Amino acid sequence: MSVLVYTESEEGKFKKVAFEVASYAKAVADQMGTTVTALTINADEVSELGTYGVDKVLKVNDSKLDMFNAKTYANVIKQAAEKEGTKVVVVSSSADSKYLAPLLAVGLDAGYASNVVEAPTSASSFTVKRTAFTNKAFNFSTIDTDVKIVGVSKNAFGLKENSASAAVEDFSPSIPENGVHVESVDKATNTVTIADAEIVVSGGRGLKGPENWGMIEELAEVLGAATACSKPVSDLGWRPHSEHVGQTGKPVAANLYIAIGISGAIQHLAGINASKVKVVINSDPEAPFFKAADYGVVGDAFEVVPKLIEKLKEFKAQNA
Amino acid sequence: MKILVCISHVPDTTSKINFTDGDTKFDTNGVQFVINPNDEFGLTRAMWFKEKQSASVDVINVGGPETEPTLRKALAIGADTAIRVNTSATDGFAVAKQLANVAKDGGYDLIIAGRESIDYNGGMVPGMLAQLLGANFVTNCISLEVDGTNAKAVREIDGGKETVSTTLPLVIGGQKGLVEESDLRIPNMRGIMQARQKPLNVVEPVDATKETSTVKFEKPEPKGAVKLVSPDNLDELVNLLHNEAKVI
């Protein structure tokens, strides 16, 4: 009966979202009067999950699972859910979890709600609040099936500490073959990804050309932030598509989003709206972004950004 | 190669989002509907397969008669045949089930859907469809090549990309990158005229129980006014971000 949460790791270490989905699973388990079981796949050290309310860990370690594969991972989670007699499975909104969740839903005959931002109102009606219309609205939905899957939005529920000591059980599921084979993974190392970043620094067409991105990268470095860009910038080929954030690009749910030289088209704002605090730097006081931002600086980015970098360096030096 | 492209009929990206009937229904009043952008990238890639590899391309939508102009637009862009499953799209699973029912007898080698629709953002239809059909599945797909029954696809992952090899039959969840924005096609007059003559087949739905139900919608709280900081006083911005917003 326990709530099952899939706590993702990378190279043996938990991703931050693992603790957020564990916190969410604990809230659901409390409503249902049950416990939380976490499933880990090739994680090294799992005891930290106890801090977020996990009572039991099903620990899978198998070199056949070194490479993420949606169908195989969905099958492993299904086996764990069946073993635990789970009624609610909690996953994150990472690219991998969003890939596997629909496969798992069919496998478990479970209804699935994605982009969920709050715990269900009650365990009996199981109404969840999720974002829809690319963050322009919320949708309240019931999940009507016996087994339910909740995909939790990043940075929405937050981390909640709930001390428990997690009992660890080794779990050896069967690992079926499947028809999609990973040939290569091309991943930037040593840079913060937009998906994981707490702070995102984003540049728009106001920066006039790709040669001016040095200050954006420097600002990002000072803040430990990821860099991103608006759609026109990626369409013009100034920056790679992987940096494009907005409705047809990547969603951003950071703690702090800094938009530089971005006017704030409705499609852009929709994509970054889930970020908690938004700062805009733009020379045009009429730019729509000022209506969506928490803090704004009306000024020339080429003057403001270098000054801001200096101020932040001073701040970091004082608070180091 | 026989391709099926799943087309979601969605409000234009610039639409104002409002609700009606006690906030239980999307207010379509004055809203322009378009092909879901993620599906349009896939449709355009399908046109490439049609032109370079002689593929046939069908398009499908699950929805009422009001979605037909969107299907006609897909025909005007170059699809050969359109199929409309005559039922309203209630939830992701029910839609996937309707699509699977048509696809299973259609002999499709490749099914292209968008990674998610920009209205409900469920992101579940392509995966559920693949699983219901027992087909291979790649989502967040930004590149796709097909050679015989082999396919090579690139998937966008958090912080990079991953290249995979797989075989047909295949379902993909596509997005920008499959083709570039500049590759998207605006139907020309000839295409629009031809589209009127192309078949748009209406298929009756099968029983498909939905698994989730919308209770209501809510719009986000209106935002407070922006706090402006002078470009000559950036210490204040650092101070606000540290002490007030607590994000640095």
Min Cα–Cα distance to chain A from B61, Å: 19
Is pLDDT of A320 > 90?
no
Reported as a single tens digit per residue, the pLDDT across A277-289 is: 999 999 999 999 9
pLDDT at A77: 98
Has residue A310 been placed in a domain?
yes
**Whether residue A154 is found in the same domain as residue A264:** no
The whole-number mean pLDDT for each consecutive block of 10 residues of chain B, a chain of 248 residues, reads: 98 93 95 97 98 98 98 98 97 97 97 96 97 98 98 94 97 96 95 97 96 95 92 96 96
**Whether residue A162 is found in the same domain as residue A203:** no
State which residues form the domain around A81: 3-170
Distances (CA, A) of A96 to A72, A247, A278, B20, B210: 12, 19, 27, 35, 25
Give the mean model confidence (pLDDT) for residues A27-44. Answer: 97
Has residue A274 been placed in a domain?
yes
Q: What are phi and psi of B189, to 5 degrees?
A: -60, -40
Cα dihedral value B188, B193, B199, B201, nearest 10: 80
**Whether residue A153 is found in the same domain as residue A205:** no
Domain final residue pick, A128, A154, A170: A170
Reported as a single tens digit per residue, the pLDDT across A186-243 is: 987 777 889 889 999 999 999 999 999 999 999 999 999 999 999 999 999 999 989 9
Is pLDDT of A84 > 80?
yes
Has residue A300 been placed in a domain?
yes
Q: Which residue has the higher pLDDT, B237 or A124?
A: B237
Query: Helix (H, G, I), strand (E, B), or coil: what is residue B203?
Result: strand
Domain final residue pick, A152, A170, A188: A170
Reported as a single tens digit per residue, the pLDDT across A40-64 is: 999 999 999 999 999 999 999 999 9
Rounded-to-integer distance, Cα B92 and Cα B194, Å: 32
By C-alpha distance, which of A295, A215, A218, A303 is closest to B238?
Answer: A295
For residue B4, what are its two tokens?
């099926």
What CATH number is associated with residue A92? 3.40.50.620
Q: Where are the domains of chain B?
A: 2-217
pLDDT at B197: 97
Cβ-defined contact of A183 to B212 (cutoff 8 Å): no
- B169: preceding bond cis by omega (within 30 degrees): yes
**Whether residue A72 is found in the same domain as residue A11:** yes
Give the mean model confidence (pLDDT) for residues A7-36. Answer: 96
The terminus-to-terminus CA distance of chain B in angstroms comes to 54
Q: Which of A96, A134, A186 sits opposite B160 (nearest CB)?
A: A186
Has residue A185 been placed in a domain?
no
Give the mean model confidence (pLDDT) for residues A247-264. Answer: 94
Whether B49 and chain A come into contact, CB under 8 Å, resolves to no
Is pLDDT of A2 > 90?
yes
- Residues of chain A with C-beta less than 8 angstroms from the C-beta of B212: 111-113, 141-144
**Whether residue A235 is found in the same domain as residue A112:** no
Identity of residue B132? L
Q: Which of A99, A139, A181 sits opposite B165 (nearest CB)?
A: A181
What CATH number is associated with residue A251? 3.40.50.1220
Are A287 and A264 spatial neighbours (Cβ–Cβ below 8 Å)? Answer: yes
Q: What is the mean pLDDT of chain A?
A: 95
Tell me whether residue A267 is annotated as binding: yes
Are A19 and A13 spatial neighbours (Cβ–Cβ below 8 Å)? Answer: no
- Residues of chain A with C-beta less than 8 angstroms from the C-beta of B165: 180-181, 183
**Whether residue A105 is found in the same domain as residue A51:** yes
The confidence band for A248, taking pLDDT boundaries of 50, 70 and 90, is confident
Cβ-defined contact of B176 to A248 (cutoff 8 Å): yes
Is pLDDT of A180 > 80?
yes
Whether B98 and chain A come into contact, CB under 8 Å, resolves to no
Question: Considering the domain B2-217 in this protein, what is its CATH number?
Answer: 3.40.50.620
pLDDT at A266: 92
**Whether residue A41 is found in the same domain as residue A126:** yes
**Whether residue A129 is found in the same domain as residue A9:** yes
- Count of structural domains within chain A: 2
Tell me whether residue A282 is annotated as binding: yes
Question: Which residues lie below 8 Å from residue B204, measured CB to CB, with a gap of 6+?
Answer: B85, B86
